[in-house]
Structure 1
Amino acid sequence: MSQQQRQEIIDLMRGAPSSDDRTPAGQRASFDSQFKDYPLGDDVTVRPTTLGGVDAVDITVEGADGQGVILYLHGGGYVVGSANTGSQLATALARRAGTPAVALDYRLAPEDPFPAPVDDAYAAYRALLDSGRPASDIVLAADSAGAGLALAVMLSARRDSLPQPAGAVLFSPWADLSLTGESMDARQALDPIFDREQIQWYADQYLAGQDPLDELVSPVFADLTGLPPLLIQVGSYEVLLDDSIRLAARAAASEVDVSLEVVAGLPHVFQYLAGQVDEADEALDRAGRFLVDRLDARSYEAARQAS
């Protein structure tokens, strides 16, 4: 897609009406409306379920019946979003990876601030392990705040000496709730979705006065040693760009295999533009291949060690 075409889409996003209701309920209604009628495909079955006592939806794409599973954690600043809003990207990855997915409806702030969402996501991961599924069959995928949550799950698993998932795909991770990345201000004129004030509002709802430097809140400051391979994708037109750049550097310094993809001229969680922007479809293709590679590699290693 040409730079002009991408810019036209950015301009449309920048000019889109936003909700004047700054309450959590108002923001949730506005966010949910964007996904209300999104078609997942006639070959997709979505079924309500629970995982570790947390509401979720099972997502099955016809023919995508590999033995692995994708645990998807939606974005929304820990205040908005749901398993339903996360189903679009969860389905896209399930289709490409050839394996089922489950999207989690973790609790949201301000009703349930930190650590409630972490507790829910970690309970879901533990439930997958407790079901007898080996960690080598589990991959995490997430966007924005959900990506920060995925990192918190992996850090919690390391703390409790539980096995790590085979890998994780992180779309535009929000990994620093202290908002210290230079891009928070330097990219504000480019970002068609967020500015510092909006991001701060979400952080305040989630933190409820707690420490933004806690590693389960802001994993960009954590020692990431022992985490599985990570794929990070981010758009260059994001105030959160530096969260991804610093997270990748932190992972590399912690001897974690990490791949960082910065796609020029695109906004926060640009993968939602699949079908409209070629680069979004291509990014999802690469993410799907990463998940396939990780599931195959860990399954091979697990079988080798068992023999």
Structure 2
Amino acid sequence: MTAREQGIGRRQFITRSAGAMAAGVVAAGAVAHSGLASALSVAPSAPLADPLLAVAPQLREGARTVITMGRAMSPLTMPKLAPMRETANKMAAPLLPDVPVAERRIPVSATISDVTVYVINAKSGGAPRPAILHTHGGGMVMGSARAERRYLQEFARDLDCVIVSVEYTLAPEARYTSSVAENYAALRWLHRSAADLGVDPRRLAVMGESAGGGHAALLAIRARDGGEVPLVAQILVYPMLDDRTGSTRLPPAPIGTLGWDAQANRFGWQALLGAEPGSRSVPIAGVPARVPSVAGLPPAFIGVGSIDLFVQEDIAYARRLTEAGIATELLVVPGAYHAFDRVVPEAELSRMFAGAMRAALRRAFTA
């Protein structure tokens, strides 16, 4: 299946994930113990003469385009945000006619305006089905739930589930406190509205890609702390979990040399947190990797490419979860860069990755 058939054009998705996120949407745990912390706190090695050498052969065609787009748009800066957002929003793929999509407005709080959500594949009648609360990617500063509707239609149809995707407020227009509140309000609404949506409230999961993976991880933490909404899984797809990556922790090449890079990561975290990434002023509650305890979180699937900027922090977060007794599946794809599965969806590695993600959800929904 081509990228366009999956509901997102190749250029659109690449710009969500490449270097300075050229025109779009999709752009990371704490290092639990001092040994690994030291290993991650090293200066980057010299760039590779040919960055494609570290890329799996079947992913190189997409990587060439990622490189071109990244060079054109890097570095990521405030003046670039508006045109990049506008371009991405214009490139949303047509919706499927046979998978219903409804737009709703959900109250958040007395100080935060109602948030838009898209309810995908809800159907009346029949046995209650599982549901996913989805948060889109975009480096915290770009992306939209609206642009992801077609992709999520196919995902919901494959799993025979309902998906609610949140149009949370982007940074820097809003800090993490607002987006976390919006996402949690949507999750509570999904849980309370389960009967109306044909959803089984005992089979709810959170899922997100890149920055959306970071938001999903924060949402799982918020749900644990709130004790209101039980979750059966957190599906974290190359999640953006740690503000220290690219600031006080610079991975060696070839990690982070294709797609979302260290400069873009600093920009995204600064915008979300309102504090210098990697500094002591960073609010712990806004960074999944900095949360003191991961005990009591739902089972996790974490998938990431071996040369993705987020690979080290994702491995570290998976280790924290495992050491806390949380059932955790970690999938590291050799030679894969950030968002490779959406850049080259027809590649064997991409199909394997997508299949593993769906399999994790199926297991969670039938446990």
**Bucket of the pairwise TM-score, normalised by the shorter protein:** 0.7 to 0.9
Deviations 1:138-178 (A, max 9, x none): 11110111111112112122222224311111111111012
Alignment of 1:53-64 (within 5 A): 53-60=114-121
Q: Distance in 1 between matches of 2:86 and 2:157?
A: 23
Structure 1 residue 37 displacement after superposition: 4.2
Instruction: Indicate the residue corresponding to 1:128 in structure 2.
Output: 190
Name which of 220, 244, 267 aligns with 2:289: 220
Q: Distance in 1 between matches of 2:102 and 2:144?
A: 14
Name which of 275, 283, 304 aligns with 1:234: 304
Gaps of 5+ in 1: 298-307
Cα contact 1:13–1:193 (8 A) shared by 2: yes
Q: Secondary structure at the match of 2:319?
A: helix
Deviations 1:22-51 (A, max 9, x none): 554733542563561434544333322223
Q: Distance in 2 between matches of 1:278 and 1:147?
A: 23
Instruction: Indicate the residue corresponding to 1:147 in structure 2.
Output: 213
Q: Closer, same or farther in 2 for the Cα pair 1:50/1:188, shift >3 Å?
A: farther
Q: How many residues align?
A: 296
Structure 1 residue 239 displacement after superposition: 1.2
Cα contact 1:233–1:262 (8 A) shared by 2: yes
Structure 1 residue 67 displacement after superposition: 1.3
Letter aligned with residue 258 of structure 2:
P
Cα contact 2:132–2:205 (8 A) shared by 1: yes
Deviations 1:263-299 (A, max 9, x none): 11112122313643222222222211221221222xx
Instruction: Indicate the residue corresponding to 1:26 in structure 2.
Output: 80
Name which of 75, 85, 103 aligns with 2:165: 103
Q: Secondary structure at the match of 1:295?
A: helix
Letter aligned with residue 120 of structure 2:
I
Cα contact 1:232–1:258 (8 A) shared by 2: yes
Structure 1 residue 89 displacement after superposition: 4.3
Instruction: Indicate the residue corresponding to 1:138 in structure 2.
Output: 204
Instruction: Indicate the residue corresponding to 1:94 in structure 2.
Output: 156
Alignment of 1:260-271 (within 5 A): 260-271=330-341
Instruction: Indicate the residue corresponding to 1:301 in structure 2.
Output: none
Cα contact 1:72–1:103 (8 A) shared by 2: yes
Q: Secondary structure at the match of 2:301?
A: strand
Cα contact 1:31–1:81 (8 A) shared by 2: yes
Instruction: Indicate the residue corresponding to 2:355 in structure 1.
Output: 285
Instruction: Indicate the residue corresponding to 2:258 in structure 1.
Output: 192
Q: Distance in 1 between matches of 2:153 and 2:257?
A: 26
Q: Distance in 2 between matches of 1:91 and 1:136?
A: 22
Instruction: Indicate the residue corresponding to 1:11 in structure 2.
Output: 64
Alignment partner of 1:38 is 2:93: yes
Q: Distance in 1 between matches of 2:323 and 2:228?
A: 22
Q: Closer, same or farther in 2 for the Cα pair 1:198/1:21, shift >3 Å?
A: closer
Cα contact 1:181–1:243 (8 A) shared by 2: no
Cα contact 1:178–1:212 (8 A) shared by 2: no
Q: Distance in 2 between matches of 1:238 and 1:100?
A: 30
Structure 1 residue 104 displacement after superposition: 0.7
Worse overlay, 214-223 or 240-249? 214-223
Letter aligned with residue 172 of structure 2:
P
Cα contact 2:246–2:266 (8 A) shared by 1: no
Q: Closer, same or farther in 2 for the Cα pair 1:76/1:8, shift >3 Å?
A: same
Letter aligned with residue 9 of structure 1:
G
Worse overlay, 82-91 or 101-110? 82-91
RMSD: 3.0
Letter aligned with residue 116 of structure 2:
D
Q: Distance in 1 between matches of 2:83 and 2:317?
A: 31
Name which of 177, 181, 185 aligns with 2:243: 177
Letter aligned with residue 131 of structure 2:
V
Instruction: Indicate the residue corresponding to 1:85 in structure 2.
Output: 147
Letter aligned with residue 16 of structure 1:
M
Q: Distance in 2 between matches of 1:215 and 1:248?
A: 18
